[in-house]
A and B are shown apart, each in its own frame.
Chain A
Amino acid sequence: MKGLAGAATRYRIMAWITGVLLAVLVCIGMPLRYWLLKDNWNAPISTIYAIGWVLHGWVFVVYLAAALDVTFRMKYSVLKVLGVAISGTIPFMSFVAEHFVKRDVNARLTQ
């Protein structure tokens, strides 16, 4: 399988970046923004928080490209492709998807 190892590495890097960024935004950003600072919309944290979501949007575009690439090389079914794609937008799901893709790719490569 030419290129599969490289595609898998690219996907795994993007899955971790997307997952960590999303976890920080949801677990730290959201409570700060909507709970502790709910009346202070002009606090610098609000701007950083908004920038974080914009960043996540672009990171997800790259994640999606890497995810579609590796799932196609693996000839996943349509449902699995969609599942891996969407997991970049659900907190912590990208780590789960990364685990299964890594397992499948390793099985394929050691065949």
Chain B
Amino acid sequence: MLRLLFTPRWLARSLLGVVLLVACVGLGVWQWDRAQATLDAEYAALEVPVSVSDLAPAGADLPSENVGRPVFATGRYAEPPLYVSNRSLDGRNGFWVLSPLDLADGSQVAVLRGWLPEIAKVPIGDVTVNGVMQPYENFYADSTAKNGVIVSMSRDEIVAAWGADVRAGIVNLSSQEPTLPGDPLPVPSTVQLGGVGFPLQNFFYALQWLIFAGFVVFFWWRWIGIDLRDLNKEKEAS
């Protein structure tokens, strides 16, 4: 076999095999990098804050892929606020406060302004808010509001208080400009950013290049086997 390998013909074939092998692996790595770069770019794009009106449709459900995305909104806190009971902050029991934010286009969006130790009037006024889109809660669906106090931030409770035209989802406030005297303490968002489209095409191409690299090795091996067999036959014949 070694003698066959060092014939000019097989040296050339082996060299071509190595070139093809390196090319296949290199192209596979390139496609893998492309898939990674696409993923990174998609995640980076999701982390850029956008206007709440781009993500939260009015009178509909919040698309699941918009959960966890940073948003901003400019408008005016309106009345009436909703108080969510049994919410703790740093171990202290209290309430979360939701206010409707009137936007310039006439629509409203629910803003989770933060935590208060007890029910107290919250300030109203013109603000610009930054926050994270979060979905409605849907536990204790049967409960009803009593004096503006609710158990869970469900769409039904919010619509009952503010009307059906409110935009989908809740903006979990992270910062507000300007701050108003008597603002609740903002609470950290607990929702995770949703997934992004996986670049299947690049990922599969990467995989396929590795399969082709395997083909090169397999057929080189098979071919040399055939030549070796033919050589032995010739020897036996002579």
Contacts and interface: CB of A to CB of B under 8 A. Distances in A.
Interface stretch (A12-20, A61-69, A95-103): A61-69
Nearest to A81: B219
B219 A54 contact: no
Query: From DSSP, what is the main secondary structure of chain B's interface residues?
Result: helix
Given A50-B201, A68-B219, A78 B13 contact: yes
Contacts, number: 27
A40 to B, nearest CB: 16
B140 interface: no
Contacts of B208: 57-58, 60-61
Interface residue tally of chain B, by bracket? 10 to 19
Nearest to A55: B204
A57 B204 contact: yes
A72 B219 contact: yes
A65 B13 contact: no
Interface residues of A, number: 12
Contacts of B226: 72
Contact of A78 (B16, B212, B222): B16
Contacts of A60: 208
B211 A54 contact: no
A54 B222 CA distance: 29
A34 interface: no
Contacts of A68: 215, 219
B226 to A, nearest CB: 8
By Cβ-Cβ distance, the 7 closest A-B pairs, closest first, are A57-B208, A57-B204, A54-B201, A54-B204, A68-B219, A61-B208, A53-B201
Given A72-B219, A78-B16, 10 more contacts: A53-B201, A54-B200, A61-B208, A61-B211, A61-B212, A64-B212, A64-B215, A65-B215, A72-B222, A72-B226
Interface of A: 50, 53-54, 57-58, 60-61, 64-65, 68, 72, 78
